[in-house]
Amino acid sequence: MSEPITLACPHCHRRNRLAAERLDQAPRCGACKQTLFTGNPVDLDNRSFNAHANADLPLVVDFWASWCGPCRQFAPVFAQTAGSAEPHARLAKVDTEAAPELAARFAIRSIPTLLIIHRGKEITRLNGALPPAEFQRWLSANLPTL
């Protein structure tokens, strides 16, 4: 049996510990009892961000804004990828208009900007939207393994 990993619940944002081999067995949150994987990106704000960013599960963040055309075009690609990336990564969206502190913390200068964060550290970033196949290649090349 492998070391347990920590991940945050997409509903209540409480941290959960479970064995890595249980990730694909539809685990539920110990606090709110809802499923830990929904197949959809999680909307994060200043209050919930750190629980996900500091977890063992890699976090792929899309920094975006509602007025941004490329952000709106990329949103379906990002959403569709959430289902295939789970349970090996959590995909999340941060609205830079609603959470300017997070945008400042990560020095977001253009949107969309994609970050991969693992255990509280930024692994890589990419500015701009990608077509689905290129986004998948970027994730495959950059996601840390658990």
Nearest C-alpha neighbor of 120 from the set 50, 65, 71? 50
The residue from 9, 12, 32, 71 that is catalytic is: 71
Question: CA–CA separation, 26 vs 139, rounded Å?
Answer: 22
Tokens for 19?
């064995």
Whose structure tokens read 């945050």? Answer: 8
Question: CA–CA separation, 104 vs 46, rounded Å?
Answer: 11
Verify whether residue 12 is a known catalytic residue. no
The residue from 9, 12, 32, 68 that is catalytic is: 68
Verify whether residue 68 is a known catalytic residue. yes
- Give the number of other CB atoms < 10 A from CB of residue 32: 14
Those residues with Cβ within 8 angstroms of residue 123's Cβ, 6 or more apart along the chain or in another chain: 58, 115, 116, 117, 142, 144
Between the alpha carbon of residue 107 and those of residues 14, 28, 57, 60, 102, the distances in Å are: 27, 34, 23, 16, 8
| Residues designated catalytic | 68, 71
